[in-house]
Amino acid sequence: MKRVAAFVLAGGRSEGLATLTVPRSIAAVPFAGKFRLIDFTLSNCVNSELYKVAVLTQYAPLSLSAHLGRGEPWDLNRRGGGVTLLQPYARQEGARWYEGTADAIRQNLDVLETLGTDRVFVISTDVLCKMDYSWIFDHHRRSGAQATLAFGRVPYGEVSRFGVSHLDDQERIRSFEEKPAASDAPWAFMGVYLFETPYLVSLLREHPGANLILDVLQPQLDGDAVRAYRFEGYWDDLGTLPEYYRAHQRLLGDDPAPNLYDPEWRIYARSAERSPVLFGVRAEVVNSLVSNGAIIAGRVENSVLSPGVTVGRGAVVRDSILLDGTVIGPGSRVERAIIDKNVLVGAGSRIGGPDPGGPRAGLTLIGKWAELPAESLIEQGTVIPCGEVKTEAPRAPGGIVP
């Protein structure tokens, strides 16, 4: 795909992820121990031999920019292609933030035209999947469409989370509803587009709307210019805490999804050199993913631990996600919790608990850099903001800790 470029939309923040997207954009949210969400999108690009990639950043870009660097881990530090970061910047008529997906691309049409490509992918970073974009390219070329949108099966009972459509046997999009309360539409838009470059440029210049699908493309759906590509593999939208948690649980067990161990479709990432995992003499680890640099002296069950996590002697971590550098003090108990980077949990603390309401409720969230003293009690469903330092053991009910 030498004359194809990709514009990766990486500047958004998801309110549904609460404090996880306070210090970072959703594209930079850690996932599966050593990765970030954007790693899956960029890996899909390079595995599909798509090497001209522009990443559009905006909200809290520092973490993402540092992670991407010059693109070395994804083989995107190359002449005649590679990765380019596009941040809103001051112009003669004044500086202006990106107001939506269409506006972000519209403000960078000069970059798109400079790339000199015949076609361009536009890809969101909050959808988790392993997708060969060359299949969309081949489907698009055969159909003669001006634009092709990727659709996956609507997860059961979750139609209200997606833009959903009915597709006909010619892959035409016969309807599009944005997050309806109820619908029998079986296909959900995955945030992946492929355009003929001149068609995209003309649409953006003729239609001033901010949203690429609702304002710009939806009026075009009646004709043959826009077609659908049906993706039958695993995918998920990680825009909410329950979905983020559920996706981590799917990594565990005998049939993980997505499969991180497939040598034919590697997921590339920037990761610091760390020592091997150290298991203490009384350590127990059951059905868990543990990343390099972790030190485990307690018990870990059904959990995902990022690099550099420490679990103290006698501590129990169950059904939880611990991000980089977090320390769980000796004798503490953590259950059904998501704990962000560099959190210190004092000895003998109790964080979260079993959820009687079902597997998708009652999550406890502790923001980045929080420090909790010894014997803290953080009830299930509590959210502690980033950088919170408790001077005494909090005993708050579920909700936002003041």
pLDDT in tens, 69-109: 878 888 787 766 788 888 876 554 555 788 889 999 999 99
Whether 291 and 195 map to the same domain: the answer is no
Q: What is the pLDDT of residue 335?
A: 97
Would you tell me how many other CB atoms lie within 10 Å of the CB of residue 252? 17
**Among candidates 48, 20, 47, 58, which has minimal Cα distance to 36?**
20
Show the tokens assigned to 218.
């939806």
If 0-12 CB within 10 Å is exposed, 13-18 middle and 19+ buried, where does residue 23 land? middle
Amino acid identity, position 59: Y
- Which phi-psi region, left, alpha or beta, contains residue 191 (left: φ > 0; alpha: ψ -120 to 50)? left
Give the residues across from 31 on adjacent strands. 35
Domain shared by 133 and 244, yes or no: yes
DSSP annotation of 126 reads S
- Exposed/middle/buried for 263, CB within 10 Å: 0-12, 13-18, 19+? exposed
> By percentage, how much of the chain surpasses pLDDT 70?
93
- In this structure, are 383 and 308 located in the same domain? yes
- Which domain CATH number covers 92? 3.90.550.10
pLDDT band at 393 (very low <50, low <70, confident <90, very high): low
Average pLDDT, the chain: 90
CA 331 to chain centre: 33
Instruction: Determine how many CB atoms are found less than 10 A away from the CB of residue 3.
Output: 12
Would 147 be classed as within a structural domain? yes
Query: At 290, phi and psi to the nearest 5?
Result: -120, 125
Q: Is the confidence at residue 394, as pLDDT, over 50? A: no
Q: What is the pLDDT of residues 261-290, one digit of tens each?
A: 999 999 999 888 899 999 999 999 999 999
Alpha helices in 69-108 (DSSP H): 101-106
Q: Is residue 262 part of a domain?
A: no
Q: CA of 320: how far to CAs of 256, 309, 366, 380, 387, in Å?
A: 17, 12, 12, 12, 20
pLDDT of amino acid 295: 97
Question: 189 in the Ramachandran plot: left (φ > 0), alpha (ψ -120 to 50) or beta?
Answer: beta
Backbone angles phi, psi at 239, to 5 degrees: -85, 0
Task: Mark whether 197 and 286 lie in a shared domain.
Answer: no
In a domain, 46, yes or no: yes
Q: What's the number of domains the chain is made of? A: 2
Residues 228 and 124 in one domain: yes
Are 194 and 299 found together in one domain?
no
- Check which CATH number belongs to the domain holding 317 and give it: 2.160.10.10
Flag the least confident range among 54-58, 90-94, 190-194, 349-353.
Answer: 90-94
Q: Are residues 210 and 303 in the same domain?
A: no
